Amino acid sequence: MPFEVIIGAWVATGLTLFIFTFLYEDNPIFKLAEHLYVGISVGYTIVKAYDTVIVHLIYVPMIKEGDWSLLVPVGLGLLMLARYVPNAGWLSRYAFAFIVGVGSGLAIPRTISSFILKQVEDTIRPLVTLLPDGGVTFTASLLNPASNLNAIILLVGVVSVLFYFFFSLEHDGPLRTAARTGILFLMIAFGAAFGYTVMARMSLLIGRFTDLIEFAGPAYGRPTFWLIPLVVGALILWSTRRRPAPPEA
C-alpha cells in the first residue's frame, strides 16, 4: 500500500469522525474540520482558477502564441473590477450588459425548446397520429391494449396541474375537480422527490460508513479503530473542561 494512500486514509477517517461529532454538539473538533473544508475548497478553487484562466487561457495563448484577440474578453472582464472604483463604477455596466445579453440570448431559446416544446410534444405525441396531409388525429383508446395508458395519465396530470396554477377563473365546479386532481399529482411528484432526496442523503452516509469500515483494515493501519477512541476521548475532555455559559441577565 503506497504511503500517501495510507496518509489519505488516516486524514479521511479523522475528518469524517470530526464531522460526526456534531451529532453530539457543536464543538471545536467539528469546527476544525468545517474550517478545513471551507479553506481547502476556496484555496483549491483559487489556485485552479488562476492556473486555468490566467495561465492557460490568457498568458500562454497571448504571450507565447501571440493571440492578441484575447485582449477583448480580458478587457471586458477587467471592466467588472471597475465596480470597486467609485468614479469608474459605471464602466462595469458594459461588461454586465454583455454577459446578461449573451446569456439570455443563448439560454432562453434553448431552454424553451428543450424544456417546454419538447416536453409538450412528448406529452401529446403518444396519443395522436400525424396524417400524411399534415393533419393530426387523436388515436389513443383505453379499449385498445396497445394504447399507451401512461401517456393518458401524464396528460391528465399535466393538464390538471396547469389548472391548479390557473388563477384567472375561480376554482369552482369542474375547475375545482381539475385543480384538486392537480394537487394529487403534485403531491405524488413531491413524494417522489422527497424519496429520492432521502436516498441521496443516505447514500452519502453509506459512503462514509463504507470508508470507515474499509479503513478499519490492517492494510491502512486500522485508523478507524485508533481514531474513534481518540475523538471520543477529546470530545469527553472538551465536554468536562469547558466553562459553563454565563447565566443570561
Q: Which residues bind other proteins (CB under 8 A)?
A: 41, 44-45, 48-49, 52-53, 56-57, 60-61, 102-103, 106-107, 110-111, 113-115, 118-119, 121-122, 189, 192-193, 195-200, 202-203, 206, 210
Residue 118 or 180 with smaller CB distance to other proteins: 118
State the nearest-atom distance from the C-beta of 162 to other proteins, in Å.
15
* Contacting residues for 76 by C-beta, under 8 A, at least 6 apart: 94, 95, 98
Residue identified by cell 473542561 is 241
* Nearer CB in complex with other proteins: 35/118: 118
**Residue whose CB is less far from other proteins, 70 or 228:** 70
Which secondary-structure segment (H or E) carries 157? helix 149-164
Residue 58 — φ and ψ, nearest 5°? Answer: -120, -60
Least Å distance between CB 212 and other proteins?
Answer: 14
Which residue's C-alpha cell is 482558477? 49
The whole-angstrom separation of Cα 208 and Cα 202 is 10
Smallest gap from Cβ 27 to other proteins, in A, equals 26
Q: Which is nearer to other proteins, 13 or 235 (CB)?
A: 13
For residue 2, the number of C-alpha atoms closer than 13 Å in the C-beta half-sphere is 3
CB of 93 to other proteins, least distance (A): 20
Beta bridge pairs of residue 128: 138
- Indicate the residue among 23 and 249 with the shorter CB distance to other proteins: 23
The full length of the chain comes to 249
Burial of 147 (0-12, 13-18, 19+ CB in 10 A): middle
How crowded is residue 65: how many other Cβ atoms within 10 Å of its Cβ? 9
- Least distance between other proteins and beta carbon 24 (Å): 22
CB of 114 to other proteins, least distance (A): 5
Nearer to other proteins, 89 or 195 (CB): 195
